[in-house]
């Protein structure tokens, strides 16, 4: 449990026997119920458990205990560790508790459907499975395929949301760039609607009027040329 001392019951036994702290203060520090601390003090619980000195283990300081004994409302706080142990990177497949192993096929199915970009090695790291099992679920040849239900591995407790997001982000970087969409024809509804047909008719009528004006201009120009030519021939004869 986060921010809890090592061996909380053994620590509570030592605090009950060696300090004047209240049951509430010991319960808050050891993440126990006050009634459970009271039962330890009465000898009804934690029988046979040897007390663990939190000062000797570096989890509490004498000053912190003295301050809490003088002030009943003071809450004990864990001492800062003097040595930071780096988190070791996991090697090999993830260990999955026995109670959760039956949920792995459901988690694999969820990952295959919702994140097809994930590689088999990434799924193996997330849920602690094997490549043949992933292949069987992909091909629907798994012995229990008919009963499988996609379930989020984070909800099942097989991996954390941060681990899943990191694997998905890593897989997305290896995907090819999305193709640029080329312009396509307009939908049938847009081209056959009343407004579209009316606009098409207006454009067609406008083009016909322009073509008629051009034809009329060409005819008049030709007539003028024909009238000017005979007059020029008469002048040459004279």
Query: In the listed set 140, 173, 206, which residue is the last one of a domain according to the structure?
Result: 173
Residue 1 placed within a domain: no
Rounded Cα distance between 159 and 151, Å, is 12
Residue 157 placed within a domain: yes
Residue 215 placed within a domain: no
C-alpha distance from residue 10 to each of 16, 64, 192 (Å): 10, 19, 82
Q: Are residues 166 and 106 in the same domain?
A: yes
Q: Which two tokens stand for residue 118?
A: 């994930």
Q: Are residues 14 and 64 in the same domain?
A: yes
Domain limits for position 114: 98-173
Higher pLDDT, 185 or 110: 110
Residue 76 placed within a domain: no
Query: In the listed set 173, 200, 226, which residue is the last one of a domain according to the structure?
Result: 173
Q: Are residues 102 and 144 in the same domain?
A: yes
pLDDT, tens digit, 9 for 90 and up, residues 187-196: 555 555 566 6
- pLDDT at residue 87 greater than cutoff 60: no
In the chain, % of residues over pLDDT 90: 22
Q: Are residues 57 and 103 in the same domain?
A: no
Helix axes 120-127, 161-173, angle to 10 degrees: 170
Residue 58 placed within a domain: yes
pLDDT, tens digit, 9 for 90 and up, residues 195-215: 666 666 677 777 766 666 656
Query: In the listed set 173, 191, 212, which residue is the last one of a domain according to the structure?
Result: 173
Residue 236 placed within a domain: no
The four Cα atoms 218, 222, 225, 231 give a dihedral, to 10 degrees, of -150
In the chain, % of residues over pLDDT 70: 64
Radius of gyration of the chain measured on its C-alpha atoms:
43
pLDDT, tens digit, 9 for 90 and up, residues 121-164: 999 988 888 899 999 999 989 888 888 899 888 888 888 888 88
Residue 60 placed within a domain: yes
pLDDT computed for residue 214 by the predictor: 58
Residue 20 placed within a domain: yes
Number of domains in the chain: 2
Higher pLDDT, 228 or 114: 114
Listed residue (85, 82, 139) closest to 109, CA to CA:
139
């Amino acid at each position: 449990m986060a921010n809890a001392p090592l061996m909380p019951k053994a620590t509570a036994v030592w605090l009950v026997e060696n300090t004047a702290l209240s049951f509430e203060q010991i319960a808050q520090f050891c993440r126990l119920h006050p009634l459970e601390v009271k039962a330890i003090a009465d000898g009804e619980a934690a029988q046979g458990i040897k007390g663990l000195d939190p000062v000797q283990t570096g989890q509490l300081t004498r000053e912190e205990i003295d301050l809490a004994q003088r002030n009943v409302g003071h809450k004990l706080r864990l001492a800062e560790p003097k040595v930071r142990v780096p988190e070791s990177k996991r090697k090999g497949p993830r260990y999955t508790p026995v109670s959760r192993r039956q949920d792995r096929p459901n988690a694999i199915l969820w990952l295959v459907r919702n994140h097809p970009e994930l590689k088999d090695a990434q799924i193996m790291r997330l849920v602690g499975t094997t490549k043949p099992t992933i292949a069987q679920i992909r091909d629907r040849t798994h012995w229990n395929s008919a009963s499988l239900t996609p379930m989020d591995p984070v909800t099942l407790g097989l991996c954390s949301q941060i681990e899943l997001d990191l694997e998905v982000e890593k897989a997305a970087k290896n995907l090819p760039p999305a193709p640029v969409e080329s312009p396509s024809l307009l939908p049938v509804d847009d081209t056959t609607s009343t407004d579209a047909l009316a606009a098409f008719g207006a454009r067609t009528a406008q083009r016909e009027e322009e073509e008629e004006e051009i034809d009329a201009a060409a005819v008049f120009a030709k007539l003028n040329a024909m009238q000017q030519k005979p007059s020029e021939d008469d002048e040459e004869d004279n």
